[in-house]
Structure 1
Amino acid sequence: MKRYEKFADAIAELIRSGVLGPGQRVPSVRYASQTYGVSPSTVFQAYYLLERRGLIRARPRSGYFVNTHAPSPLAEPATSEPARDSTEVDVSELVFSVLDSIKDPNTVPFGSAFPSPLLFPLPRLARSLARAAREMDPRLVVTDMSPGNPQLRRQIALRYSVGGLVVPMEELLITNGALEALNLCLQAVTEPGDLVAIEAPAFYACLQVLERLKLKAVEIPVHPRDGIDLDALAQALARYPVKACWTMTSFQNPMGATLPPAKKQALVELLRSHQVPLIEDDVYAELYYGQHAPKPAKAFDTDGLVMHCGSFAKSLAPGYRVGWVAAGRYAQKVERLKLMTSLCPSMPAQAAIADYLQHGGYDRHLRRLRYALEEQQHAMLAAIARHFPAQTRVSQPTGGYFLWLELPEQTDSLKLFQLALAQGISLAPGPIFSATRRFRHCIRLNYGSPWTEASETAMQTLGRLVRSL
């Protein structure tokens, strides 16, 4: 074992034995270095390792603390099975019936698609909006409509470059949220009746887009940790005339899976060999836990086949509806499609986010947001372990704010949804995440809201309802 691993095990034993209890501060880097006779670098490496294990977490300017909630002992869900054939998509009525029923603000929002607005710096954003509106050059309101505010595009390009990815500004197009970017990308490379490879389970908005554009789905299994099954995708590409592949490569919704870097590279190479474009839905990219952001599949693209779609809706400003796409070789076609449809997003909203990225402390906000989400994840995992049947399986993603639960086989998640709603609790039932309405005994839960006594009570109620079914 390396020195930092030995030191990490020593601290872990103190936590397991109760010497360091939940919420207690672990020795500072300086104190640990002096007391244990190791270098500060060794202490940092050990603490990073303990963070990845879920035993401790850093607090800004305060040090490292023992996590309040231990990681869940429950097993992870099984990898989904491949679909036997391509299928027409017809899920909108089911999705709308679920979404319409969870709009009550008094409902515990485990079924929501967004984190709590309380986690976002909305007052600071409002100041950026006011300043941007005052200083906006009237001529730019017309000239910058497409491809979007140049300052915002420059800031996005800079964030790509920090991650080691060079994206030319002329490839970037600002859109009305990521959903418009994804719609435009799909329209750029398909015609009605075409086949699109998607994940199973997949985010229900993906299914609705396919349904609206009259496209057929080829469902590809997803591993709860490592993402889309490349062997199954290769078989589908050999069997079907697939025109595009739409996938979330990091913190996939609903499972939370993230493809390892080597697998992302293999995905890009596989699609390149078939000349199939990849539409990369990466809206949760900034919500990673730990020290390093995962690289997108776009980082391995040498042919311009990857269209990388992002958004500020999940990390900064949900109501501003500002997203973007780095569209590779399809940039001009995507831009022209946008000009033919919505023209441009709100110019003041674009200018406000550009101002905030430059002056508002975005990275500081993101660190706080990630810490909050990780702690809330631990709280929900611990509640599942306490209140749900022992046969329950649950994902443990390293980012985002969703958990995918595989409940005992006989559980009907649509019935559970109705029973929970009657108790003031929302959840997302499994069938809305499949073109073939599979995953009937699965649910997605959102831990993106601050954990309260009401959250704990709701989890206890859900566990009781699952047992009753």
Structure 2
Amino acid sequence: MPSKYEVLVQQVREQITANIWQAGEKLPSLREQAESSGISLMTVMHAYQILESQGWIFSRPQSGYYVAPKAEFLTQPAVHQQVQPAESVDINDFIFEVLQAGRDPDIVPFGSAFPDPGLFPRRQLTRSLSRVAHAMSALSVVDNLPPGNEALRNIIAKRYALQGMKVSPDEIVITAGAMEALNLSLQAVTRPGDWVIVENPAFYGALQALERLQLKALAIAAHPRFGIDLTALEQALNDYPVKACWVMTNSQNPLGCTLSDEKKQQLAALLQRYNVYLIEDDVYHELYFGAHKPLPAKAYDTRGMAMHCSSFSKSLAAGFRVGWVAAGEMAGRIQRLQLMSTLSTSAPMQLALANYLATRGYDSHLRRLRRMLEQRKNSYRQALHRLLPEVRINECHSGYFLWIELPPGVDATELYRRALRQKISIAPGRMFSAGGLYNNYFRFNISYEWNDRQTRAVEVLARLIKEMLPV
């Protein structure tokens, strides 16, 4: 029998689907809903939080909850398989080509993986870096060897604690960005030839890591709105000797979707049942738009088998290249692997971040950043619907990416090449699949301010798409 909050979630979904509540319309307040439904205020709040995490509604501070814009459900590729095995991964050359092309400062960076640097508090970070540079001693390098700066690890542990999670500073390893955290985590639990689960589509960094470490990929279908298919995941766990599962649980790149708390809990339980390590790529965890920060799947790990990887690159300082992994039982092994590779993360950058994070400026910055990204995403979404009527856009309420489906027969890789000649970049769907899928999809960065330059660039994309439509 479903619980009271599950019943309310289903009722509100059905009401929105039936157009009883229109997109942009304000829902009854928590108190009003509790009185009319005859359930507790906490139950209503829990139901609204679930609806928000699933993209049905969104919240505005001091205002209430509103119905989200209607999502156009994107189709899956025609040759799509729920479980797609790949004995080898060979995608790095193409990814390198796309990333190198995006370095040109004259290019409109719709294909960029990084947020607009103008959104970051550079002046305050520079002051912190200056302070620690003057105070550094000869011992600073030694003090910041793995597992990393103690003050910084304590600050990160306290931020976990604010979400109700018990993560000891001793299991946190500071790394040179999230990519080092993810690669070290993968290396810690696999050997060449092992099977590793990734999503489909997946962040291309995961595919590059598998290629570098000579690992085999099991790509599990991810729904544009609800994320990884857990039924297909269990099938893969039954059929293959899987060693690790690399998943993005919040603001998945490229889709943008966030798993519900229930699905995260099911994911963690499923992997623990099959003794498979979870490598959780959570670099966008601070870029949620609602009132409540989503939990990672690590919150539901009871055996220390989840390695939660994140960084400050997407929320604070891309150039600092400081990340971390809350590594559970693998913390010691990851420290030893780091000592054999990069030795340690930059001591000045660790010290500068610890100095900045000790102030109250970070959370104020995050509130401004989330508000700005939400505004820009809404502006881009409206403009793209108007200027690119041929495409379909995945509606997700976090982060700074849109996942866009082109009409059948329009190749996103060819569109990327034609757009690049016009000084416009996009991230073609081929970057996100080891099996050559998603050829009529691309990822679109909305973090830069919408202005005349962006308008002209989208108009050029519209013209190129029309030229490529099958006759």
Q: Which residue of 1 aligns with 2:421?
A: 422
Q: Which residue of 2 aligns with 1:77?
A: 74
Write out per-residue CA displacement over residues 85-113 of structure 1, whole angstroms, 9 at most, x where no aligned residue.
33310001111111111211121110000
Q: Which residue of 1 aligns with 2:152?
A: 152
- For residue 225 of structure 1, report the CA deviation from its aligned partner: 1.7
Mapped contact 2:83–2:236 kept (Cα < 8 A): no
- For residue 396 of structure 1, report the CA deviation from its aligned partner: 1.4
Mapped contact 1:108–1:455 kept (Cα < 8 A): yes
Per the alignment, in what secondary structure is the counterpart of residue 109 of structure 2? coil
Letter in 1 for 2:414: K
Write out per-residue CA displacement over residues 369-399 of structure 1, whole angstroms, 9 at most, x where no aligned residue.
0011111111111122112234x32111121
Distance 1:389 1:15, change over 3 A: closer
Letter in 1 for 2:452: E
Q: Which residue of 2 aligns with 1:92?
A: 92
- For residue 141 of structure 1, report the CA deviation from its aligned partner: 2.3
Distance 1:460 1:81, change over 3 A: farther
Q: Which residue of 2 aligns with 1:275?
A: 275
Q: Which residue of 2 aligns with 1:131?
A: 131
Q: Which residue of 2 aligns with 1:378?
A: 378
Letter in 1 for 2:442: I
Counterparts in 2 of 1:164-313, with a 5 A limit? 164-313=164-313
Write out per-residue CA displacement over residues 399-430 of structure 1, whole angstroms, 9 at most, x where no aligned residue.
11111111111110011001111222110000
Q: Which residue of 2 aligns with 1:19?
A: none
Write out per-residue CA displacement over residues 129-155 of structure 1, whole angstroms, 9 at most, x where no aligned residue.
111222234324213311101010011
Mapped contact 2:59–2:291 kept (Cα < 8 A): no
Counterparts in 2 of 1:345-360, with a 5 A limit? 345-359=345-359
Mapped contact 1:254–1:404 kept (Cα < 8 A): yes
Distance 1:429 1:13, change over 3 A: closer
Mapped contact 1:73–1:385 kept (Cα < 8 A): no
Distance 1:14 1:243, change over 3 A: closer
Per the alignment, in what secondary structure is the counterpart of residue 354 of structure 1? helix
Mapped contact 2:227–2:259 kept (Cα < 8 A): yes
Aligned mates of 1:346, 1:403 — CA distance in 2: 33
- For residue 13 of structure 1, report the CA deviation from its aligned partner: 8.7
Per the alignment, in what secondary structure is the counterpart of residue 344 of structure 1? coil
Distance 1:256 1:50, change over 3 A: closer
Q: Which residue of 1 aligns with 2:36?
A: none
Alignment root-mean-square deviation, CA: 2.9
Distance 1:337 1:399, change over 3 A: same
Identity %: 48
Aligned mates of 1:206, 1:194 — CA distance in 2: 14
Q: Is residue 2:459 matched to residue 1:439?
A: no
Unaligned runs of 5+ in 1: 17-25, 30-40
Aligned mates of 1:171, 1:255 — CA distance in 2: 30
The size of the alignment, in residue pairs, is 431
Write out per-residue CA displacement over residues 47-69 of structure 1, whole angstroms, 9 at most, x where no aligned residue.
999998778855xxxx779x9xx
Write out per-residue CA displacement over residues 260-299 of structure 1, whole angstroms, 9 at most, x where no aligned residue.
0010000011000100000000000000001001000000
Distance 1:274 1:458, change over 3 A: same
Q: Which residue of 2 aligns with 1:37?
A: none
Unaligned runs of 5+ in 2: 1-7, 30-40
Write out per-residue CA displacement over residues 142-198 of structure 1, whole angstroms, 9 at most, x where no aligned residue.
133111010100110011001111101110000000000000000001001111000
Mapped contact 1:102–1:426 kept (Cα < 8 A): yes
Mapped contact 1:388–1:467 kept (Cα < 8 A): no
Counterparts in 2 of 1:336-415, with a 5 A limit? 336-359=336-359, 361-390=361-390, 392-415=391-414
TM-score (norm 2): 0.85
Aligned mates of 2:254, 2:208 — CA distance in 1: 15
TM-score (norm 1): 0.86
Counterparts in 2 of 1:16-165, with a 5 A limit? 57=60, 75-79=72-76, 81-165=81-165
